[in-house]
Amino acid sequence: MSISPASSHAGIVTRDMAWWQSAIGYQIYPASFADSNDDGIGDIPGIIGKLDYLAELGIGFIWLSPVYASPMVDNGYDISDYRAINPIFGTMADMDRLIAEARARKIGIVMDLVVNHTSDQHPWFRAARSDRHSPYRDYYIWRDQPPAKGTPADIEASFGGSAWSLDPQSGEYYFHLFAPQQPDLNWANPALRAEVHAMMNWWLDKGVAGFRMDVIDLIGKQPEAGIVADGPELHHYLREMHEATLTGRDAVTVGEAWSATPTNAPLYSAPERQEVSMVFQFGHVTQFWDEKLGKWKPKSIDWPRLKATFAAWQQALHGKGWNSLFWGNHDLPRAVSRYGDEGEYRVTSAKALATILHLMEGTPYIYQGEEIGMTNAGFTSIEQYRDVETINFHRIQLAQGVAEADFLAGARANSRDNARTPMQWSAAPHAGFTRGQPWIAVNENFLRLNVELDRADTDGVFQHYRRLIALRRENALIRHGDFRLLLADHPCLIIFERRLGAECLLVVVNMSRQETAIPTMGVPSVQGRDLLTGKQVSIKAGAKLKPYAAFALRC
């Protein structure tokens, strides 16, 4: 799908000029975005009603979290029919209208492709478990005994417990890396792969702009050998998929790959390999998790480490692949709560984070609500949570002796529900998200933090995102310049240069609550107009940067 004129230059479509290299992605978590029928759950007509808002922001495509038929054990990441829409979200006619209405605004719809697993209610799994000789049996992964403790196949599921569950109907154990209701597909089966390709083509023929591929680095797994991520067949499956579906189409694909490193990422996104446009990588997230308790015991952010991670990714993929850029998504805490300051400096720190992210090389993604600086949920009791992962780990960790208060502190920082509270549109009841009862509580701060208020403020977060998006559109330097980190060891100043030919951009950000002076060595003296505010600024040794100040100047 060609959305932007940037995809063709003098009649030649080049990878370098692909439309998604200058577009901004915006993730919608449908249940929490906008409710049109007052059942308390966001829906597709609700999204259609907000397309003008998204067009005003300037985005190029929407990554739509799953809207397919699903029993909703994992909020739609458990699909029971890839070609049907869950009635709580609307109808296929609504979906077609969304694709058309978005296209009319030059916005592509990127579907969430969840093919590491299906729902246990998918007809393939129902057939598989009802008859050991069904052709669908081999679409899934089975063994007759649970693995002995400590053997390679003894794998733990991401949502807790063993990854092998007994299917009482057929008397065998099936493999699932997530909930037991999410059986893993067996990608070694060519018929299964062909079904997935056909389904992808069906959606592409409908006019979707591409796919976000859920945990795609897991499809090459070999559980019996203890291999989960990055299996030996992974890249073969991705190339085959590309050939069967994406060749000759101008689509964007982004593979979620928690195992990706700067070293192996070019394997996915190098143009000559024809696998995916880019991956979502998580080094900047997981390095601040506890070695034992993981996300439930987060460490505080160490900026020199975070800067080194960004620099490694920027350098590894420059000219060799393509980066995705993101702070948050539906599985992660709110950016401003995790990396910025959700109190006094909420607006300034949200803008500073956006400046850092949007001025690197790659395709930036905005998670719904980030563009107004929405914050973590602030839940204080387990009853407020809805997420299967949080609820399971609450039970598991308490049984292991973790104190309730400690678990709740971890969940308050890192539960996936932090990002899933309803979009705060206005100061109306339930933040204008619904006139019904929302499925998950609205953040209490909606009276002072909502779209209506923020969008009207020229110094607000929304207008800052608009300016950053426009800047990227207008400047090849931002889209394609190289990246050089300055002051790598400084504890709170994030300073980098971008260069393209003779052009140079200097980005200077103070990620701290303290006024901070620029050191005497390591930063060039630059005076000029800040590209984001139009104000004159002088960057030089000794100059004081206010808390969360952020500038971008030509150098």
Give, as ranges, the residues between 105 and 134 that touch ligand NOJ (CB under 6 A). Answer: 114
Decide if residue 215 touches ligand NOJ (CB under 6 A): yes
Active site residue 214: yes
Q: How far apart are the first and last CA of the chain?
A: 37
User: Cβ closer to ligand NOJ: 77 or 296?
Assistant: 77
User: Cβ closer to ligand NOJ: 389 or 497?
Assistant: 389
Count of other CB atoms within 10 angstroms of residue 50: 18
By C-alpha distance, which of 338, 363, 368 is closest to 353? 338
d(CA 254, CA 268): 10
Decide if residue 178 touches ligand NOJ (CB under 6 A): yes
d(CA 351, CA 152): 46
Residues 6 or more apart whose CB falls under 8 angstroms from that of 165 comprise 173, 174, 176, 180
User: Cβ closer to ligand NOJ: 153 or 185?
Assistant: 185
User: Cβ closer to ligand NOJ: 120 or 331?
Assistant: 331
Is residue 214 within 8 A of residue 256, CB to CB? The reply is yes
The 294-333 contact track toward ligand NOJ, x by CB under 6 A, reads ------------------------------------xx--
User: Residue holding tokens 């973790």?
Assistant: 402
Q: Which of 94, 214, 361, 497 is catalytic?
A: 214
The 13-42 contact track toward ligand NOJ, x by CB under 6 A, reads ------------------------------
2: three-class secondary structure by DSSP: coil
d(CA 275, CA 99): 24
CB of 114 to ligand NOJ, least distance (A): 5
Residues 6 or more apart whose CB falls under 8 angstroms from that of 96 comprise 206
Active site residue 497: no
Give, as ranges, the residues between 64 and 83 that touch ligand NOJ (CB under 6 A). Answer: 74, 77
CA 395, 215, 278: angle at the middle one, nearest 5? 140
- Closest-by-Cβ residue to ligand NOJ is 77
Q: How far is CA 386 from the centre of its chain?
A: 20
CB of 322 to ligand NOJ, least distance (A): 20
Decide if residue 258 touches ligand NOJ (CB under 6 A): no
User: Cβ closer to ligand NOJ: 50 or 420?
Assistant: 420
DSSP-derived secondary structure letter, 224 = G
Q: Which helix (H) or strand (E) holds 241?
A: helix 234-241
Q: State which of residues 167, 214, 217, 454 lies at the interface with ligand NOJ (CB under 6 A).
A: 214
User: Cβ closer to ligand NOJ: 22 or 182?
Assistant: 182
Decide if residue 63 touches ligand NOJ (CB under 6 A): no
Give catalytic residues, as residue numbers.
214, 256
- Give the binding site for ligand NOJ (CB under 6 A): 74, 77, 114, 178, 214-215, 256, 330-331
